[in-house]
């Protein structure tokens, strides 16, 4: 799999990559928690320990050096002697930076978001993996819809869905699934609880699968029997906000403008204060990654970006609605990766 060009800041000669998703992106190595990449304009080097002496060279696109981190960080010195080396300030612990400073003659410089920026535009192979994860999730939704009824427990639905996805080939759940029913629907991050679902409630399910290291992300809100008119109304407003955003999404549009389109629909309906999060986010090796679609985002949509659009309305004590689609930006517009019906559904 190819990766995009890594733009090192002019002030650095090399970058020490320690964040696992970035290590995996650059190398293809599937145990990135136990590895670093030293990236230089002329190429990279994967550093890992003896447990991976066989696996790392088999998986890594980069040359591999087996090191012994128990003996300190001296193994880096031959590669970084006298260089200006960037480190990932958002990830590297202070204690590790001290060890690097003591063990090498490099000048260490804080950097942020260098590999993450390259990761925003996906290759066709990355998109194929995300698409496969999203297709699995679509089938998982059809499965779990059969179990969704008054009397079911939120936690059981989440567990059944995760087990089903794994049996169908997912490497794991993309994150802790959200199953939020009734008043719990007002919690934007209501991870499945012991609560039993009751008739007359809305249920929000937010879930995804992992395929080849890449994640999917989708949310649906469904009604259990007939619900109070206000719940139906916030569903309709949320759906209208999502559809306005889908309509406006295309390459060249600013993320903040897209957020404003969806937010405008919700504000006009009088629920502006109840849309408490941003419109969406990039998805890939991480469940939340750049670009970020929020009010003050500087990001602009480009072909190859994979992002969510997920407006929501949360009314404390009453309930909530979120509907989330996963899309890939193309040269002329967007293509949906999630295909489950999003229209009003009563079970
Ligand atoms: Zn989600
Ligand atoms: Zn999301």
CA distance 207 to 173: 8
Q: How far is the CA of 309 from the centre of ligand 1 (A)?
A: 9
d(C-alpha 146, C-alpha 150), whole Å: 12
- Alpha helices, H only, the chain: 20-27, 55-59, 77-80, 94-103, 114-119, 124-145, 154-167, 229-248, 255-268
Ligand nearest to the CA of 174: 1
Instruction: Report residue 181: phi and psi, to 5°.
Output: -115, 155
Query: Could you tell me the distance, in angstroms and rounded to a whole number, from the CA of residue 323 to the centre of ligand 1?
Result: 9
pLDDT tens digits for range 62-98: 999 999 999 999 999 999 999 999 999 999 999 999 9
Q: State the Cα–Cα distance between residues 202 and 323, nearest whole angstrom.
A: 12
Give the pLDDT confidence score for residue 3 in this predicted structure: 80
Q: Which ligand is nearest to the CA of 208?
A: 1
State pLDDT tens for residues 168-202. Answer: 999 999 999 999 999 999 999 889 999 999 999 99
The C-alpha atoms of residue 249 and residue 242 are separated, in whole angstroms, by: 10
* Banded pLDDT at 220 (limits 50, 70, 90): very high
Assign 2 a pLDDT band (cuts: 50, 70, 90).
confident
The answer to whether the CB of 171 falls within 8 A of the CB of 210 is: yes
Question: Coil, helix or strand for 301?
Answer: coil
Reading phi first (left if > 0) and then psi (alpha if -120 to 50, else beta), residue 169 is in: left
> CA 297 to CA 256: how far, in whole Å?
5
Q: Which helix (H) or strand (E) holds 219?
A: strand 218-223
Checking if the pLDDT of 216 tops 90, the result is yes
Contact 181, 174 (CB under 8 A): no
Q: Which ligand does the CA of 280 lie closest to?
A: 2
Q: What is the arrangement of strands in the sheet containing 43-48, beginning at the earlier edge strand?
A: 64-66, 43-48, 35-40, 14-17, 84-88, 107-111
Determine the distance separating the centroid of ligand 2 and the alpha carbon of 30, expressed in angstroms.
24
DSSP notation for 86-152: EEETTTS-HHHHHHHHHH---EEEEE-SHHHHHHTBPPHHHHHHHHHHHHHHHHHHHHHHTT-STT-
| Secondary structure element (H or E) that encloses residue 327, with its range | strand 325-329
- 208 Cα: distance to centroid of ligand 2 (angstroms): 9
- pLDDT score for 5: 87
pLDDT digits (tens, 9 = 90+) for 109-137: 999 999 999 999 999 999 999 999 999 99
pLDDT of 248 higher than 80 = yes
Residues 271-298 pLDDT 10s: 999 999 999 999 999 999 999 999 999 9
Q: What is the mean pLDDT of the chain?
A: 97
pLDDT of residue 4: 83
Cβ pair 56, 45 in contact under 8 A:
no
**What separation in Å is there between the alpha carbon of 47 and the centre of ligand 2?**
33
236 C-alpha to ligand 2 centroid (Å): 20
List, in order of start, the domains of the chain with CATH numbers.
3-119 (3.40.350.10), 124-336 (3.90.230.10)
- pLDDT tens for 26-53 read 999 999 999 999 999 988 999 999 999 9
pLDDT of 321 over the 90 cut: yes
pLDDT at 217 exceeding the cut of 80: yes
Measure 220 CA to ligand 2 centroid, in angstroms: 11
Distance between Cα 167 and ligand 2 center (Å): 23
Quote the CA–CA distance of 205 and 199 in Å, as a whole number. Answer: 16
Encode burial over 99-112: b for 16+ CB neighbours within 10 A, e otherwise.
Answer: bbeebbebebeebe
The DSSP call for residue 290 is: E
What is the spatial distance between Cα 98 and Cα 75, in angstroms, rounded to a whole number?
15
């Amino acid at each position: 799999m190819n990766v995009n060009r890594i733009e090192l800041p002019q002030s650095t000669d090399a970058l020490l990559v320690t964040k696992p998703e970035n290590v995996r992106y650059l190398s293809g190595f599937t145990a990135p928690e136990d590895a670093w990449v030293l990236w230089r304009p002329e190429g990279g080097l994967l550093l890992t320990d003896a447990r991976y002496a066989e696996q790392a060279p088999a998986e890594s696109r980069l040359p591999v050096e087996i090191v012994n981190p128990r003996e300190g960080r001296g193994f880096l010195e031959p590669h970084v002697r006298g260089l200006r080396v960037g480190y990932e300030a958002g990830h590297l612990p202070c204690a590790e930076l001290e060890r690097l400073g003591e063990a090498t003659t490099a000048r260490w410089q804080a950097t942020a978001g260098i590999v993450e920026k390259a990761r925003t535009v996906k290759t066709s192979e990355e998109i194929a993996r995300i698409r496969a994860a999203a297709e699995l999730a679509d089938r998982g939704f059809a499965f779990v819809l059969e179990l969704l009824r008054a009397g079911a427990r939120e936690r059981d639905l989440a567990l059944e869905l995760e087990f089903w996805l794994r049996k169908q080939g997912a490497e794991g759940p993309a994150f802790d699934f959200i199953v939020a029913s009734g008043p719990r629907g007002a919690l934007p991050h209501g991870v499945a609880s012991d609560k039993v679902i009751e008739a007359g409630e809305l249920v929000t399910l937010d879930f995804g699968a992992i395929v080849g290291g890449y994640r999917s992300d989708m949310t649906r809100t469904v009604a259990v029997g007939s619900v109070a008119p206000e719940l139906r109304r916030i569903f309709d407003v949320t759906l209208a906000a999502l559809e306005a955003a889908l309509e406006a999404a295309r390459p060249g549009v600013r993320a903040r403008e897209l957020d404003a389109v969806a937010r405008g629909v919700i504000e006009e309906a009088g629920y502006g204060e109840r849309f408490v999060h941003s419109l969406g986010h990039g998805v890939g090796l991480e469940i939340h990654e750049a670009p970020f679609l929020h009010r003050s985002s500087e990001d602009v949509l480009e072909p190859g970006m994979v992002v969510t659009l997920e407006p929501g309305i949360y009314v404390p004590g009453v309930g909530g609605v979120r509907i989330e689609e996963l899309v890939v930006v193309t040269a002329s517009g967007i293509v949906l990766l999630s295909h489950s019906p999003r229209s009003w559904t009563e079970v």
